[in-house]
């Protein structure tokens, strides 16, 4: 694997612009695979609420649309962006649709799910809205299943602890 760190990736945002994930160095990240036609889609509201609560403390949510589970994200990037902004007022960073599972898994999601790069929280993406918490030093410090709402106490307390920490010197 050529990417040794989450900050090594350059991703396309939902508008098609390149975004080096290195621009998020020093911030706490919640990386989430999202979908518009899923039973967990209402989690967008919780994600947005979490983002609003902590963004002033260098917290970012990075949403990665994926159509890997029962074709629950069939739209184009433009349709996804419009859906998220009109239905859920999402203003955290959304990225271009990628694959998070299977033969076409994007290298970022290989990094997040493979044992060699994420020994503590590795494993296949089980469904839409899996969440990875990355601390200010770029370390994956937690993972939450789709069923765990973004406003669940375990997510909130983990985010709170991460934003309270400092970048290692």
Residue of 3, 38, 151, 160 marked active site: 38
d(CA 120, CA 141) in angstroms, rounded, equals 8
136, 58 contact by CB (below 8 A): yes
How many of the other CB atoms lie within 10 Å of CB of 168?
9
38 is a catalytic site residue? yes
Contacts of 74 (CB under 8 A, 6+ apart): 37, 67
64, 98 contact by CB (below 8 A): yes
Q: Which of 33, 110, 112, 14 is nearest to 72 (CA)?
A: 33
- Residue numbers annotated as active site: 38
């Amino acid at each position: 694997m050529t990417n040794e760190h989450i900050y090594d990736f350059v991703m396309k945002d939902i508008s098609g612009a390149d975004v080096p994930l290195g621009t998020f160095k020093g911030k706490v990240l919640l990386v989430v695979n999202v979908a518009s036609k899923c039973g967990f889609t209402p989690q967008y509201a919780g994600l947005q609420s979490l983002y609003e609560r902590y963004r002033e403390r260098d917290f970012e949510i990075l949403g990665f649309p994926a159509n890997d589970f029962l074709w629950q994200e069939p739209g184009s990037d433009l349709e996804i962006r419009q859906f998220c902004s009109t239905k859920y007022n999402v203003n955290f960073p959304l990225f271009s649709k990628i694959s998070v599972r299977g033969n076409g898994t994007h290298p970022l999601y290989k990094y997040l799910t493979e044992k060699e790069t994420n020994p503590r929280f590795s494993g296949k993406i089980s469904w839409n809205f899996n969440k990875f918490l990355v601390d200010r030093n770029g370390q994956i410090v937690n993972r939450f299943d789709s069923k765990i709402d973004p406003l669940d106490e375990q997510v909130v307390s983990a985010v709170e602890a991460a934003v309270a920490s400092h970048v290692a010197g």
